[in-house]
Chain A
């Protein structure tokens, strides 16, 4: 059985993809067979892992012929890390899900045949509230929510906490949030972090990802922070985050 972790936020540009790719890499580096499913039609994780954004048959085939999903998976440059790539056809995933009898259960059903093969499955979701995100909530064991510690951004977190239930999550999915793109020099960031952590102690992870050059340079170098700058604050932060997540996840692989 694999542990399914989804990085999710209604807003874009909060460090969702960076977290998914870097955390999935760290899981694989420990020798755990790991799959990263890029659900974002923009295909940012697919690009970072140097895989061509091509999904034979598109999102529709993926949903309909789940026995063939394994054939669409691509090995990456890293041992034990595989990718289910995205392409532009995924922008219609919402409509396609709507054609199913139980649309929100569909992604979980697609993952079923892969559970035996992978210890961890990461879902990198597009920013939205849609049928896709509801389907992701259904499929995931853990929702990883990156939050920028600015007033506006952390406010988007409150309805989400409500949506999935009270502290610690409900309906099967465990919600864990972490601060992302943190600038510790900004007093506003420090204040917001302190306030949110006090309000949601069970929800907030201890590690925080800084706003760092290395993370921005990932796109240029098409690699992982851990390989690009292993000694950097960002790399250390991702390692700490992964350690913290594994410690907190209820269904440890």
Chain B
């Protein structure tokens, strides 16, 4: 298959068909002493893919599955550069993708190598399919030598079985080495004839025509706030943005397209719950209690699936913790884990698709919509300037963490670590959602940095404990399987290693906590957040 590579792309006038465009071009070029020679015409089906959050696009890449026509079921999956279309990696005889493609599921080879560092655990999703007819042309000079290559393409969107809308005819010019000035003359001639530089690349145009979003959908929330803004209005704006992230990711989480949908959904819910709690004074108490309960329920029904996702993701790493000769004994655990994950996912999908969830989404949206218009009698913080309220809360949580951390020594129960970690999350969300847009970066950034380092250690401590607990829970189903003895023994070794790492995390806590509560940072917090 010819490498997709071109130097310039132009669009024909909207009323022109591929044939009419070629005729117009032929006449125009003739006047400049060129001859247009038609070559082969091919039909091609192209499916453009990217992760939900557009990671390939952000990396300047695109993934495309190319097959000769709609009847074929296999083709070439290629990773190409967005700029110029040069192929980075490709694999032939690849089945036309109908669903998500995970890099880790691909055969070891250049395509996997090219994708994995970019998309990581995210799946490539088919975004748009094009049915195109491409005709190749050679532009000849007076010696009948090819001095520029042209491709004229008429492509239409494939929407299900029916042909979708046609895109505008596209002309691609490919320079022949050593004939730059000829290519420039051909290009100038095409522009004279009404061909224009396209606003979007073909793949972006296809994705847009299919109703998609070429840059992908980000789970990042950055709402601009004004320090003097009413707190209820600011909270509603931030919470609406978080609710949108939940909406964006709900379908993918239910369909289990990749693990990040559920993760992003849960993070958005958790951040929302955190805002509800920290800025509780902007809500009417009864309504708030109802929504806090409902969102807690969302976290509960999604929790087990997420835990098992993480477990499956990290099992490779955990497996490396046990001595090499007994690593294979853990295969049984992987299988049981997979079954449990599938069951948890099914249960979760039922809940997320339930009327209760639908009601929550609808009611929460309505609540945020009308929040500012509600009476303020039972909402003491509603009219407070958001910078004041957020500053107060940030200072408060920071002080609380200091107290909790100072009480922790190496022998404290795990719950103490969990509690301070929870507070750390609250603080992190406050800083990201309100601190960043409202306060000087010089104050917010060092605080976030020290907090992150502290949370990393606390997170590892927590992860190891959850992993040990999950391992204990797996002992029962694993012991019902043949070959269980070796698996159980290997699980014992793994549990011990996990515990050792948990203890190591405890040791590191003191150091990180000292950084987090160092004198300069304390003073900075005091000066900035009242």
Complex: how many Å from CA A77 to CA B178?
A: 12
Q: Which of B143, B177, B179: most chain A Cβ within 10 A?
A: B177
Does A76 lie within 8 Å of B143, measured CB to CB? no
State the Cβ distance, B127 to closest chain A Cβ, in Å: 29
For window 193-227 of A, CB contacts with B under 8 Å fall at 222
Does B145 lie within 8 Å of A77, measured CB to CB? yes
Partner of A50, one of B2, B144, B175: B144
State the Cβ distance, A224 to closest chain B Cβ, in Å: 13
Does B143 lie within 8 Å of A74, measured CB to CB? no
Q: B298 in the interface, Cβ–Cβ < 8 Å?
A: no
Q: B305 in the interface, Cβ–Cβ < 8 Å?
A: no
Q: Which residues of B contact A77 (CB under 8 A)?
A: 138, 145-146
Partner of A75, one of B2, B143, B144, B177: B177
Q: Which residues of B contact A74 (CB under 8 A)?
A: 176-179
Does A52 lie within 8 Å of B143, measured CB to CB? yes
Q: Mark A141-173, 1 if CB is under 8 A from B, else 0.
A: 000000000000000000000000000000000
Q: Which of A50, A51, A75, A76: most chain B Cβ within 10 A?
A: A75
Known: A77-B138, A79-B2. A50 touches B143 (CB 8 A): yes
Q: A73 in the interface, Cβ–Cβ < 8 Å?
A: yes
For window 107-158 of B, CB contacts with A under 8 Å fall at 138, 143-146
Partner of A73, one of B2, B143, B175, B178: B178
Complex: how many Å from CA A50 to CA B179?
A: 13
Number of B residues with CB within 8 Å of any CB on chain A? 11
Q: A87 in the interface, Cβ–Cβ < 8 Å?
A: no
Complex: how many Å from CA A67 to CA B349?
A: 63
Q: Which residues of B contact A82 (CB under 8 A)?
A: 177-178
Complex: how many Å from CA A79 to CA B177?
A: 10
Q: Which residues of B contact A73 (CB under 8 A)?
A: 177-178
Does B138 lie within 8 Å of A75, measured CB to CB? no
Complex: how many Å from CA A75 to CA B182?
A: 12
Q: Which residues of B contact A49 (CB under 8 A)?
A: 145
Interface size class of A (residues with CB under 8 A): 10 to 19
Residue in A closest to B178 when the chains form the complex, CB atoms: A74
State the Cβ distance, A127 to closest chain B Cβ, in Å: 26
For window 47-76 of A, CB contacts with B under 8 Å fall at 49-52, 71-76
Q: Mark B172-190, 1 if CB is under 8 A from A, else 0.
A: 0001111100000000000
For window 78-93 of A, CB contacts with B under 8 Å fall at 79, 82
Complex: how many Å from CA A154 to CA B179?
A: 42
Main secondary structure of the interface of B (DSSP, over half): loop
Complex: how many Å from CA A77 to CA B143?
A: 12
Q: Which of A72, A77, A222: most chain B Cβ within 10 A?
A: A77
Q: Which residues of A contact B144 (CB under 8 A)?
A: 50, 222
State the Cβ distance, B89 to closest chain A Cβ, in Å: 15
Complex: how many Å from CA A53 to CA B387?
A: 76
Partner of B178, one of A50, A75, A79: A75
For window 1-26 of B, CB contacts with A under 8 Å fall at 2
State the Cβ distance, A44 to closest chain B Cβ, in Å: 15
Main secondary structure of the interface of A (DSSP, over half): loop
Residue in B closest to A72 when the chains form the complex, CB atoms: B178
Complex: how many Å from CA A75 to CA B2?
A: 16
Residue in A closest to B177 when the chains form the complex, CB atoms: A75
State the Cβ distance, A230 to closest chain B Cβ, in Å: 15
Q: Which residues of B contact A76 (CB under 8 A)?
A: 146, 176
Complex: how many Å from CA A74 to CA B143?
A: 14
Complex: how many Å from CA A72 to CA B2?
A: 25
Q: Mark B365-407, 1 if CB is under 8 A from A, else 0.
A: 0000000000000000000000000000000000000000000
Complex: how many Å from CA A74 to CA B141?
A: 14
Complex: how many Å from CA A71 to CA B178?
A: 7
For window 171-214 of B, CB contacts with A under 8 Å fall at 175-179
Complex: how many Å from CA A75 to CA B138?
A: 13
State the Cβ distance, B523 to closest chain A Cβ, in Å: 58
Q: Which residues of B contact A50 (CB under 8 A)?
A: 143-146
State the Cβ distance, B528 to closest chain A Cβ, in Å: 55
Q: Which of A74, A82, A222: most chain B Cβ within 10 A?
A: A74
Q: Which residues of A contact B143 (CB under 8 A)?
A: 50, 52
State the Cβ distance, A35 to closest chain B Cβ, in Å: 10
Q: Which residues of B contact A79 (CB under 8 A)?
A: 2
Residue in A closest to B144 when the chains form the complex, CB atoms: A50
Complex: how many Å from CA A119 to CA B163?
A: 42
Residue in A closest to B1 when the chains form the complex, CB atoms: A31
State the Cβ distance, A50 to closest chain B Cβ, in Å: 4
Q: Mark B65-91, 1 if CB is under 8 A from A, else 0.
A: 000000000000000000000000000
State the Cβ distance, A55 to closest chain B Cβ, in Å: 11
Q: Which residues of A contact B2 (CB under 8 A)?
A: 79
State the Cβ distance, B1 to closest chain A Cβ, in Å: 9
Complex: how many Å from CA A49 to CA B146?
A: 10
Q: Which residues of B contact A52 (CB under 8 A)?
A: 143
State the Cβ distance, A139 to closest chain B Cβ, in Å: 22
Q: Which residues of A contact B179 (CB under 8 A)?
A: 74-75
Complex: how many Å from CA A159 to CA B355?
A: 93
State the Cβ distance, A191 to closest chain B Cβ, in Å: 44
Residue in B closest to A47 when the chains form the complex, CB atoms: B143
For window 421-480 of B, CB contacts with A under 8 Å fall at none
Residue in B closest to A76 when the chains form the complex, CB atoms: B146
Complex: how many Å from CA A222 to CA B144?
A: 10
Q: Which residues of A contact B176 (CB under 8 A)?
A: 74-76
Complex: how many Å from CA A77 to CA B144?
A: 9
Q: Which residues of B contact A222 (CB under 8 A)?
A: 144
Complex: how many Å from CA A58 to CA B75?
A: 47
Known: A77-B138, A79-B2. A51 touches B145 (CB 8 A): yes
Complex: how many Å from CA A77 to CA B146?
A: 5
Complex: how many Å from CA A79 to CA B175?
A: 11
Q: Which residues of A contact B178 (CB under 8 A)?
A: 71-75, 82
Residue in A closest to B138 when the chains form the complex, CB atoms: A77
State the Cβ distance, B86 to closest chain A Cβ, in Å: 13
Q: Which residues of B contact A75 (CB under 8 A)?
A: 146, 175-179
Residue in B closest to A74 when the chains form the complex, CB atoms: B178
Residue in B closest to A70 when the chains form the complex, CB atoms: B177
For window 15-55 of A, CB contacts with B under 8 Å fall at 49-52
Residue in B closest to A223 when the chains form the complex, CB atoms: B144
Q: Which residues of A contact B146 (CB under 8 A)?
A: 50, 75-77
Q: Which of B138, B144, B175: most chain A Cβ within 10 A?
A: B144
Top 3 nearest A-B pairs by Cβ distance? A75-B176, A75-B177, A74-B178
- 18 additional A-B pairs beyond A50-B146, A71-B178, A76-B176, beta carbons within 8 Å, are A49-B145, A50-B143, A50-B144, A50-B145, A51-B145, A52-B143, A72-B178, A73-B178, A74-B176, A74-B177, A74-B178, A74-B179, A75-B176, A75-B178, A77-B138, A77-B145, A77-B146, A79-B2
Interface CB pairs A-B, < 8 A, 16 = A50-B143, A50-B144, A50-B145, A50-B146, A52-B143, A71-B178, A72-B178, A73-B177, A73-B178, A74-B178, A75-B175, A75-B176, A75-B178, A75-B179, A76-B146, A79-B2
